[in-house]
Amino acid sequence: MTLNKHKDIIINNYTDYDEDSRLIKDRAHNMEYLTTMRYIQKFLKPGAKILEIGAATGRYSIALAKMGYDVTAVDLTPKYVEIMKRKSRKLKNFQCMVGDALDLSMFKDNSFDMVLNLGPMYHLFNKKDKNQAIKETIRVAKKNGVCMFAYISSATIMTTYGLRHHKCYDLLTRCMDKEGRVADIPEEIFAAFYVEDFKKLFAKTNTKYITNVSADGIGPVLRELIEDLPKKDYQAFLEWHFRTCERLDQQGYSNHLLYICRKVK
C-alpha cells in the first residue's frame, strides 16, 4: 500500500527541501513548533510511549526522546529517516524507520500512549486515503491514548501562497470551489481543509474530540511584521497566541492546524 499514486512526487519534493530547518528559520515558522510542542507536553504522562507518523527529520520526535520518552518515528522519505538516524545515534529510547501512514502494520493495535500524525494529512487527496490514515493512527493508539493530527487550512493557500506569489486569480479559477475550498489536486503537493470539513472525518471513529488548535495563527500572513518585533513585543504576541489559539476566530488563517482527540475504546 502506498501513500497515494503520487508518492514519488511527494518523496522527490521533500528530498530536495530543507525540512530540517523549517520550524526554526524564523519566528512565524517557530510558532508552529512551539504551539504544537506545548500541546504535546500538555497531554503527555510520565513514561509515555510515543509514535510520530510523518516525522520528517525528527524535530519533534528527537526532542521528545531527549526528554526521556520512548519514541518511535516513521517517515515516507528515506533521506529524512537517514537524517533522523544520524541525529539520534546516542539515544537508546528512539527508533525510526521508513513507513507509510496508510499502512502501519508493523505496529500492533493499542501500542502507543500518544500518536502524532503531523504531516501525512497534508498529502492525501481522496476520501479513502484520508480515512485510512486516520484509522491507522487511531488503531495503534492505546485506549484513552491521545492522537494529534496536523492539517493545512484551506484559507492559507490563498493568503500565503496566492498573495506572496501573485497567484490569487490562478487559485480562484483553477483550484477553488464556490466556497473558496481548495480542490484535491495531487500535483499541487498539498491538500487543505476547512476546519469543519476536517472534523467531519472523525464522525464515525472511536474517538472523543478534545480541541482544535491554530498552530501558527496569523504568523505566516504577517511574517515580516512579526520578525521585526522587539523581543518584548514578540513574547507578548506569542503569549496572546497561546491564550487564543483554540478560538475559532483564530483558526481560519492559520497555516497549520492541530486536531486533538482521545481514543475511547
Q: What is the pLDDT of residues 124-174, one digit of tens each?
A: 989 999 999 999 999 999 999 999 999 999 988 898 889 989 999 999 999
Q: What is the pLDDT of residue 185?
A: 84
The x, y and z cell numbers of residue 122, run together, are 497534508
Q: What pLDDT is attached to residue 253?
A: 83
Class of residue 192 by CB neighbours under 10 A (exposed 0-12, middle 13-18, buried 19+) = buried
In this structure, are residues 150 and 260 in contact, taking their beta carbons and an 8 Å threshold? no
The CATH number fitting domain 7-263, selected from 3.40.50.300, 3.40.50.150, 3.80.10.10, 3.40.1010.10: 3.40.50.150
Q: Give residue 9's pLDDT.
A: 65
* Sequence spans of domains, the chain: 7-263
Contact at 8 Å (CB) between 182 and 192?
A: yes
Handedness of CA 104, 107, 109, 111 (dihedral sign): negative
Tell me which residue of 74, 41, 43 sits closest to 56, measured CA to CA: 74
Paired with 256 in beta bridges are 152
Dihedral angle computed from the Cα positions of residues 178, 173, 201 and 77, in that order, rounded to the nearest 10 degrees: -170
Render the burial of 45-67: b for 16+ CB within 10 Å, e for the rest: eeebbbbbbbbbbbbbbbebbee
What's the CA dihedral at 222, 197, 6, 118 to 10 degrees?
60
Confidence of residue 3 (pLDDT cuts 50, 70, 90): very low
Q: Cell 466556497 appears where?
A: 179
Phi and psi of 236, rounded to 5°?
-70, -40
Question: Which whole number is the average pLDDT over 35-42?
Answer: 98
Share of the chain above pLDDT 90, in %: 78
Name the residue with higher pLDDT: 80 or 19: 80
State phi, psi for 38 to the nearest 5 degrees.
-60, -45
The structure's pTM equals 0.93
